[in-house]
Amino acid sequence: MNGVFKALSHPARRQIIAMLRERPRLSGEIAAAFDMSWPTITGHLTSLKDAGLVDAEREGTSIRYRLRLSALEEAVAVLLDLVDAAPKADPIGDLDHGRSD
Amino acid sequence: MNGVFKALSHPARRQIIAMLRERPRLSGEIAAAFDMSWPTITGHLTSLKDAGLVDAEREGTSIRYRLRLSALEEAVAVLLDLVDAAPKADPIGDLDHGRSD
DNA sequence: AAGCTAATTAGGAAACTTCCTAATATCAAG
DNA sequence: CTTGATATTAGGAAGTTTCCTAATTAGCTT
């Protein structure tokens, strides 16, 4: 859980998360989106994986990374708890980021 | 804004925030709550101040720190935005990361 | 001013992060 | 098994973070 905040503390990693929010991506696709070497991106992806924020799955010669939304949601919950100790055991629902599914 | 996440990435600093959420506190009060030297705590308080997460105000020979809730709330907003695309940026929206929690 | 308490700044050691290039592994296809 | 593409691991330089002790600043009281 500390790992999650550590992982979120680097802009490139937050940007990777933003990319993965749209859809799962191959490693090379992510590396190509940055002005950093591929090994550096692999390192960031490993941090994210260690923090439980992403999953990796081999697919032929490629590896597909996908966001683990639940881990991000936990981080939100912790922050929310710091902001205002409450919406954890008490579903007030004033946040309303509900979607139509 | 990157500073906020950096600041949140250390457990002691999150714990300080938790203490300040209850009420404003004197530097020494905070230092006493930790198993670290007072100068080290001063350092963490300075990080939090630089990140805009706390305000400091002199009070006699003491200094009182208070939480800046709005800065924390901004961090929540950014995270929330990562979790679930909010009405803010590009409408790429064909995503299908079906939530199954 | 001198003494006391509260807190910060200075300086530095140890550990960690970030990023690179070079080397290696893994898989698919010929 | 060799080649080509995809991706990771290894090793290391440069910078940053974390934490300590010692020195200093700031305000109050006498």
Whether A93 is in a domain gets the answer no
Neighbouring C-beta atoms of residue B77, cutoff 10 Å: 14
pLDDT at A55: 97
Q: How many domains does chain B have?
A: 1
Neighbouring C-beta atoms of residue B69, cutoff 10 Å: 14
Neighbouring C-beta atoms of residue B75, cutoff 10 Å: 22
Does the pLDDT at position B94 exceed 50? no
Inter-chain touch B14–A73, beta carbons under 8 Å: no
Whether A95 is in a domain gets the answer no
Average per-residue pLDDT in chain A? 87
CA atoms of A8 and B89, how far apart (whole Å): 20
Does the pLDDT at position A56 exceed 80? yes
Whether A24 is in a domain gets the answer yes
Tell me the pLDDT band of B1, cut-offs 50, 70 and 90: confident
Contact A87, A78 (CB under 8 A): no
Tell me the pLDDT band of B97, cut-offs 50, 70 and 90: very low
Rg of chain B (C-alpha set): 17
Whether A98 is in a domain gets the answer no
**Selection from A9, A20, A96, A84 nearest residue B80 by Cα:** A96
Pick from B11, B73, B99: CB nearest A83:
B73
Does the pLDDT at position A62 exceed 70? yes
Does the pLDDT at position A60 exceed 90? yes
Average pLDDT over residues B60-67: 97
Structure tokens at B32: 């006493």
Tell me the pLDDT band of A59, cut-offs 50, 70 and 90: very high
- For residue B9, say whether its CB is under 7 Å from any atom of strand C: no
Higher pLDDT, B99 or B1: B1
Which residues in chain A (48-77) have CB-CB distances under 8 A to chain B? 66-67, 69-70, 72-73, 75-76
pLDDT at A87: 47
Q: For residue A93, how far is the Cα from the chain centroid? A: 23
3-state secondary structure of A14: helix
Strand arrangement of the beta sheet that strand A62-67 belongs to:
A25-26, A62-67, A54-59
Environment class of residue A13 by beta-carbon count within 10 Å: exposed (0-12), middle (13-18) or buried (19+)? buried
Tell me the pLDDT band of B82, cut-offs 50, 70 and 90: confident
Shortest distance between the Cα of B58 and any Cα of chain A, in A, equals 24
User: Which single residue is written with the structure tokens 């992403």?
Assistant: A54
Q: Which of residues 49-68 of A touch strand C (CB under 7 A)?
A: 58, 60-61
Whether A94 is in a domain gets the answer no
- The model's pLDDT over A63-97, given as tens digits with 9 standing for 90+, comes to 999 999 999 999 999 899 888 764 444 444 444 43
Contact A82, A63 (CB under 8 A): no
Tell me the pLDDT band of B85, cut-offs 50, 70 and 90: low
Q: Does B33 touch chain A (CB under 8 A)?
A: no
Write down the pTM of the prediction. Answer: 0.84
The CATH number of the domain holding residue A69 is: 1.10.10.10
pLDDT at A97: 39
Whether A16 is in a domain gets the answer yes
pLDDT at A95: 40
Q: Tell me which residue range forms the domain holding B72.
A: 2-83
User: Which single residue is written with the structure tokens 């079906």?
Assistant: B98
Whether A63 is in a domain gets the answer yes
Whether B101 is in a domain gets the answer no
Pick from B9, B21, B72: CB nearest A9:
B9
Give the CA-to-C1' distance from A61 to D4 in angstroms: 11
User: Which single residue is written with the structure tokens 């199954």?
Assistant: B100
